[in-house]
Amino acid sequence: MTTKLAKTALRNISRNKRRSILSGTAIGVSAMAIVFLFSIIGGMTEDMAFNLKTYYTGEVRIRNIDYDKYERYNPLHLTVDWESVKDLLVDIEDIDKFVPRISFPANLYIEGSNFGAMGVGANFSLEAGFQDLDGSLKSGRLPEKGKNEMIMGAVLARDLKLNIGDKVTVMSTTAARGTNAITLKIVGLFSFPVGALNSKYFWLPLDRAQYFLRMNGGVQEVLIKVKEGVDPKKAAASISSVITNNTGKTLDIRSWEELSTSYGLMKMADMIYNFIAMFFFLLGSTVIINTTMMVIFERMREIGTLGAMGMHGKELVRLFFFEGTFISMIGAAVGVATGIAITLYVGKVGLDFTDAISGMDFEVSSILYPKLSIGKTIFVYFYSVIIAAGATLIPSKKAAKIEPVEALRYV
Amino acid sequence: MINVKDVERNYQTGETVVKALRGVNLDIGKGEFMSIAGPSGSGKTTLLNLIGCIDKMDAGEISIKDEAVSKMKKKEKTNFRRKYLGFIFQTYNLIPVLTAYENVAFVLSLLNVNEKEIELRTMAILKEVGLEGMEHRRPGKLSGGQQQRVAIARALIKNPEIVLADEPTANLDSNTGKEILELMKRMNKKHQTTFIFSTHDQMVMDYADRLVILHDGQIVSDEKR
């Protein structure tokens, strides 16, 4: 019987093609939008993870135990002893790469005016293995160790009307809480994927930063990348015990997921979008509910006839439920396929958010590439079909309650 | 086989109560070919619907095959109709997306008959009603007379005890109507199926072996021929 009902339901879809197309389109558009939305969130999450690991925290970050507590005061005196730590890190098997960094707020003194910026002292030879520095360098070259040179974010340079070869005096508070200044020559312009890094930052050799900031060979932080398959959280714990056992000092060693609040928010957003998806599908389902109601009124006599022939209410529910399910299945399939096609295209060309997020300190790249997740896409398909098909139960149950005599009288 | 006792049926139209049936009593035996006639609003369709277990009465009792159908619950009534009753409608009421074959076979599917038997029985009944070779046509591709033949085949496929036909010839020209009546008469004789019609068509009345005339919800004449 179920097969017969399914067959009849499938044929019923073609009775009013325009209406079936309308219902299917509502589900399809919802499915397409959600596939694309999930792809954007997926792309954004992956992009943020990459940026955090590469530019902000590494997969594991080592800092002085008190640094975060006093971070708002720029406590450069709370350092990590780079020389002793690096020797220990080399021997830890879980670690793939590590780099020392010093980030500090600075004023750039240009023609009598001060402009706020962020400086980063880095070991460029180690950084080359940690990130694609050559790829990020738009023009010029990297600064050389021991030389008063810097590379500057291309957007910052443009805003300040600076170019390669120009000299800039940088002022900042030192680890000794005094004020110091250093004049650096711009030798290159960089463009990282994250807009904020390009519009606020300049990078200089680590040794010059240590000298300028009076850090006595210390560094503000060490960023670590672990080997593939190693859990950063577990790695952080083992690094911590190695350092404590060997130096007797306790450092603040945490994984990137523990450190980033925005990544946690992004993960939460991913969950929230599941509810938004449900809302979209319910909205799309209202069209199916509406058209099924219309279909029921149109086929009232038929319902009466089937009832008179001995068809039970449950079987009538199944008949209309199958119709709604088939329309949803077709609509969702077309919608998901369109969503995949759009995602694949946009995933190639990218979505340019440069203007939208300029000035925002957000660890997401200016150009976003949606990332298609097979699992999520399959989930969207079944999710949309289940919600839309479920929605057809509402009018279908109404059809089941109609008395045959009433239905046969219906004009 | 069918016993209608003191049956009353009222309809509420706004504040007015219309008495469609006022204490109708009727006994119908197995294999009768009977017509219920009367002017519009006399209560003939209401009586047919009550015997067909698709309407509820306000008073009285109807029993079919010694079962008090008037006391049955909705589900029981549906099962009863499924097993014992066949319906023929004035407007044929075929399912437009199904072929003639499928419209007829659908009834047996409801009874969970196996596919092989469905095919044998459906083909046989379609041949019997003169629709051989038209099995794969959908209702839209059949004439009115042919559609009513499909409806008759659909009503008879499960070998019901009773077939209820509401104005079966009203939408047909007189020649086709005559053919349909002859077909039903033949089926009545062959299968001993009880046929009950509601009609105001004189030709249908003439074909009936028994004519019951209703007027204002009461039987005014019951004539066996």
Nearest chain A alpha carbon to B95: A302
Which residues in chain B are closer than 8 Å to A315, comparing Cβ atoms? 110
User: Could you tell me if A349 lies within 8 Å of chain B, comparing CB atoms?
Assistant: no
Whether A89 and A41 share a structural domain: no
pLDDT of residue A210: 96
* CB spacing of A301 vs B93 below 8 angstroms: yes
pLDDT at A411: 64
State whether residue A312 sits within 8 Å of chain B by CB.
Answer: yes
pLDDT value, residue B129: 87
Calculate how close chain B gets to A292, using CA atoms only, in Å: 17
Does residue A141 share a domain with residue A172? yes
Please give the pLDDT value at position B163: 94
Q: How long a stretch of residues is chain B? A: 225
Give the pLDDT confidence score for residue B183 in this predicted structure.
84
Show residues of chain B in contact with A8, CB under 8 Å. 95, 97-98, 102, 106
Residue A66 in contact with partner chain B when CB distance is under 8 A: no
Q: Does one domain contain both A27 and A147?
A: no
Low-confidence ranges of chain A (pLDDT < 50): none
Point out the domain boundary residue: A258, A279, A307: A258
C-alpha dist (Å) from residue A146 to A150, A199, B35: 11, 25, 115
| Partner-chain contact A309 B87, CB within 8 Å | yes
Rounded to a whole number of angstroms, the distance from the CA of B154 to the nearest CA of chain A is 9
Per DSSP bridges, beta strands A149-153 and A179-190 are parallel
Q: CA-CA distance, B7 to B25, in Å (whole number)?
A: 7
Query: End of a domain among A226, A243, A258?
Result: A258
Looking at the fold, whether A22 and A92 belong to one and the same domain comes out as no
Indicate the DSSP class of residue A97: E
Residue A401 in tokens: 């309650």
Query: In terms of CA atoms, which chain B residue is nearest residue A9?
Result: B97
Alpha helices, DSSP H, located in B68-197? 74-84, 100-110, 115-128, 144-156, 174-191
Rounded to the nearest angstrom, the minimum Cα separation between B148 and chain A is 14
Q: Do A310 and B112 touch (CB under 8 A)?
A: no
**Using CA atoms, how far apart are residues A351 and A342, in angstroms rounded to an integer?**
12
Q: Do A8 and B95 touch (CB under 8 A)?
A: yes
| A308:B52 CB<8 A | yes
| Residue A378: per-residue pLDDT | 94
Q: Which residues from A are below 8 Å from B99, CB to CB?
A: none
pTM above 0.80, yes or no: no
Contacts of B91 in chain A (CB under 8 A): 301
Are A42 and A119 part of one and the same domain?
Answer: no
- Work out how many domains chain A is built from and give that number: 2
pLDDT of residue B170: 84
Question: In the listed set A243, A258, A273, which residue is the last one of a domain according to the structure?
Answer: A258
The confidence score (pLDDT) of residue A290 equals 85
Residue in B with minimal Cα distance to A10 = B97
Contact list, A307 vs chain B (CB under 8 Å): 54, 78
Gap from B110 CA to chain A (nearest CA, Å) = 6
Which of A253, A222, A219, A218 minimizes the C-alpha distance to A127?
A222
Amino acid at position A304, single letter: G
Q: Cβ of B75 and A312 within 8 Å?
A: yes
CB-side exposure of A127: number of CA atoms within 13 Å? 25
Cβ contact (<8 Å) for B98 and A11? yes
Amino acid type, B172: L
C-alpha to C-alpha distances, A201 to A22, A223, B53, B137, B178, nearest whole angstrom: 52, 18, 85, 78, 98
**Shortest alpha-carbon distance between residue A389 and chain B (Å):** 22
Shared-domain flag, residues A268 and A177? no
What is the enclosing helix (H) or strand (E) of A95?
strand A95-110
Residue-level pLDDT at A12 = 84
**Is the CB of residue B88 less than 8 Å from the CB of residue B163?**
yes
Q: Indicate yes or no: CB of B81 within 8 angstroms of CB of A308.
A: yes
Residues A166 and A131 in one domain: yes
Domain match, A195 and A65 both? yes
The rounded distance, in Å, linking the Cα atoms of B165 and B188 is: 13
The answer for residues whose C-beta is within 8 angstroms of residue A130's C-beta and 6 or more apart is: A54, A58, A97, A98, A99, A223, A225
Encode chain B (225 residues) as per-residue pLDDT tens digits: 899 999 999 988 888 888 999 999 999 999 999 999 999 889 999 999 999 999 999 999 999 988 998 889 999 999 999 999 999 998 899 999 899 999 999 999 989 899 999 999 999 999 988 899 999 999 999 999 999 999 999 998 998 999 999 988 888 888 888 888 888 898 899 888 999 999 988 888 888 999 999 999 999 999 988
Same domain, A243 and A115: yes
What single-letter DSSP state applies at residue A72?
Answer: G
Residue A359 is predicted with a pLDDT of 63
- Closest CA of chain A from B137, distance in Å: 14
Chain B residues whose CB is inside 8 A of the A4 CB are 106, 109
Q: Are residues A252 and A184 in the same domain?
A: yes
Spatial separation of the C-alpha atoms in residues B190 and B60, rounded to whole Å:
33
The DSSP call for residue A137 is E
A26 to chain B, closest Cα gap in Å? 25
- Which domain, by its residues, includes A239? 58-258
Q: A with B: how many residue pairs have Cβ under 8 Å apart?
A: 65
Q: Do A149 and A228 belong together in one domain? A: yes
Query: Is residue A305 located within the same domain as residue A225?
Result: no
Contact of A401 with chain B, judged by CB distance below 8 Å, is answered with no
Q: Which of B97, B98, B110 sits opposite A310 (nearest CB)?
A: B110
Q: Hey, are the CB atoms on A310 and B89 less than 8 Å from each other?
A: no
